[in-house]
Amino acid sequence: MGVVLNLDQPKRDGANASIAALVDLTAPDMERVNKLILSKAGSDVELIPEIANHLISSGGKRLRPMVTLAAAKMFGYEGENHVKLATSVEFMHTATLLHDDVVDESDLRRGRKTARMIWGNQASVLVGDFLLGQAFRMMVDVGSLDALDILSTAASVIAEGEVMQLAAAKNLETTEDEHFAVIKAKTAALFSAAAEVGPVIANASRNDRAALRSYGMNLGLAFQLIDDALDYGGSSADLGKNTGDDFREGKVTLPVILAFRRGTGAEREFWRSAIEGAATDDAALERAMGLMKKHGAIADTIGRARHFGGIARDALAPLEETPHKAALLDVIDFCISRVV
């Protein structure tokens, strides 16, 4: 039993201009990825493709699988396995979103009801598990123990990151280092794995693998920090969820950490009331944004994202100049420019 998924490539408009080269370079392979998604998301259990379709067709740019494809081609890979690994990466990401929405009790994603709001928490978790299973089957098909090790390790780290975030929920004593540990696990680990498996299947050198691993890790950190900033003033199209969702869910992200630590006693009491006491109405959100502006919390969050973006750029600097390398460098600017 299958369903028709909307798997069109991102539009080449101003918002996506900086990844236009990546989209163009990976377009033929992404068509194959999309066909494999259709195939592997299918099941005789009707609810599985129905829920998978709901999230996969929700308008994401599929940045992670494009990174995998470009990283493989950057080192001259000519086989078929990069398509399977890119699809595995996308399924891992999709499964994570399904699980995240349950853990975070999210109602909307990209302006649409989350799967858990339509089909319930149990179905969402189980379909996420199905997609993870399909991802690992494709990894096994590739036959690379190194690639399997990288992606399976990433799956474990992502789960650890979710638990770390759950343990730190509503904890305003969370430090900047502790927050970085969470986002490194939750977001950056998959970007890192997506980038590294490309040179692995291309039989690139250990140094080349390390370069792409560092690129992906620091790109992921920059990406998540910009998401942290966008929650307090971005658009739902850029963010993939509603502005203010992190605040309403009591998430202690970097802008909150900075504003809380830099605030006066009265301001800290506001944060305790909002985050720990769930007083997160629209008026509270407006005040939170004002305090972040007052203490430079958003600007400094963006500054830290630019710092990690610079490390990602430096990681690729020694590598041969190719169109795929240039496209991967463009991704850094794209991720950070979402706040401009």
**pLDDT tens across 275-305, in order?**
999 898 999 999 999 999 999 999 999 999 9
**Quick check: 63 pLDDT over 70?**
yes
Q: Which of 52-61, 72-81, 119-128 has the lowest mean pLDDT?
A: 52-61
Q: Give Cβ neighbours of residue 267 (< 8 Å, ≥ 6 apart).
A: 259, 260, 291
User: In whole angstroms, what is the distance from residue 139 CA to residue 175 CA?
Assistant: 36
**Average confidence (pLDDT) over 134-140:** 97
Specify the 3-state DSSP secondary structure of 108: strand
Q: Is residue 1 part of a domain?
A: no
Q: For residue 251, what are its two tokens?
A: 């998430």
**Quick check: 339 pLDDT over 80?**
no
Q: What angle do CA 331, 165, 187 make, to 5 degrees?
A: 15
Q: Which of 98-112, 268-282, 302-316 has the lowest mean pLDDT?
A: 98-112
Q: For residue 135, what are its two tokens?
A: 């991802």
The number of C-alpha atoms within 13 Å of 257 and in the hemisphere containing its C-beta is 20
Q: Is residue 191 part of a domain?
A: yes
Q: Is residue 60 part of a domain?
A: yes
Task: Using a pLDDT cut of 70, give the percent of the chain over it.
Answer: 92
Contact 19, 67 (CB under 8 A): no
Give Cα separations from 110 to 30, 115, 295, 338 (angstroms).
22, 12, 30, 15
Domain holding 128, by residue range, is 14-337
Q: Is residue 295 part of a domain?
A: yes
- CATH number for the domain spanning 244: value is 1.10.600.10
**Quick check: 58 pLDDT over 80?**
no
Q: Is residue 4 part of a domain?
A: no
Closest CA relative to residue 325, chosen from 33, 89, 77, 75: 75
What letter would DSSP give residue 11? P
**Quick check: 9 pLDDT over 80?**
no
| Burial class for 28, CB neighbours closer than 10 Å (0-12, 13-18, 19+) | exposed
pLDDT at site 121: 92
Q: Is residue 9 part of a domain?
A: no
The number of C-alpha atoms within 13 Å of 149 and in the hemisphere containing its C-beta is 5
User: In whole angstroms, what is the distance from residue 304 CA to residue 210 CA?
Assistant: 22
pTM for the model stands at: 0.91
Q: Is residue 227 part of a domain?
A: yes
pLDDT band at 270 (very low <50, low <70, confident <90, very high): very high
pLDDT at site 100: 87
**What is the CA 240 to chain-centroid distance, rounded?**
10
Question: Looking at per-residue confidence, does 174 or 166 come out higher?
Answer: 174
pLDDT at site 234: 61
**Quick check: 13 pLDDT over 70?**
no
Question: To the nearest whole number, what is the mean pLDDT of the chain?
Answer: 90
pLDDT band at 206 (very low <50, low <70, confident <90, very high): very high
Instruction: Give how many domains the chain has, as a whole number.
Output: 1
How far separated are the first and last CA of the chain, in Å rounded? Answer: 43
Closest CA relative to residue 6, chosen from 56, 48, 74: 56
Listed as own residue / partner, the contacts of 205-209 with beta carbons closer than 8 Å and 24 or more positions apart are 208/75, 208/319
Q: Is residue 314 part of a domain?
A: yes
